[in-house]
Amino acid sequence: MASEFRRGVYLITMDKARLDVGAIHAFLTRSYWSPGVPLGIVATAIEHSLCFGLFCEERQVGFARVVTDQATFAYLADVYVLETHRGRGLSKWLLEVVRSRAELQNLRRFMLATRDAHELYRQFGFKEVALPARLMEILNPDPYGSLA
């Protein structure tokens, strides 16, 4: 299965060697879901995930990663497109590529968390949790404070 996808000047690649970890880190540190995340944490997360880098020519302009066992469960995380590249259908294309991957088919559960992009994700089959009482979590609201 292809690991690179082109659309005009844009490219989505799954080649981790091409990812600009510094650019990904720069965006994530200012995101609402991972403010202050250390570079080492971002690098480790990338190492242990399926990753999708979105590039305009040679510059990284977006990203998504999936934490998965590739059999029963996946969690979509860290999805973004830089503000200057939004409004061009790139987030939809990025999600189309993610959802088309053979490794992510026929899973029992594919999850994500979002504060404000529910309508985008609904277009790709995501819904509110059917039985939220069955889900539990350990939430650490300041996971990077102890690393400082």
Residue 26 sits in a domain of what CATH number?
A: 3.40.630.30
* pTM summary value: 0.94
Assess contact for 24 and 40: CB atoms under 8 A: no
Determine the Cα–Cα distance for residues 43 and 143; give it in Å rounded to an integer.
16
Q: How many CB atoms lie within 10 A of CB 89?
A: 12
Q: How many domains does the chain fold into?
A: 1
Q: Residue 24: name the closest of 80, 69, 90 by CA.
A: 80
Determine the Cα–Cα distance for residues 13 and 55; give it in Å rounded to an integer.
8
Q: Domain limits at 125?
A: 4-147
> Any idea which residue has 């609904």 for tokens?
122
Tens of pLDDT, residue by residue over 92-145, are 999 999 999 999 999 999 999 999 999 999 999 999 999 999 999 999 888 887
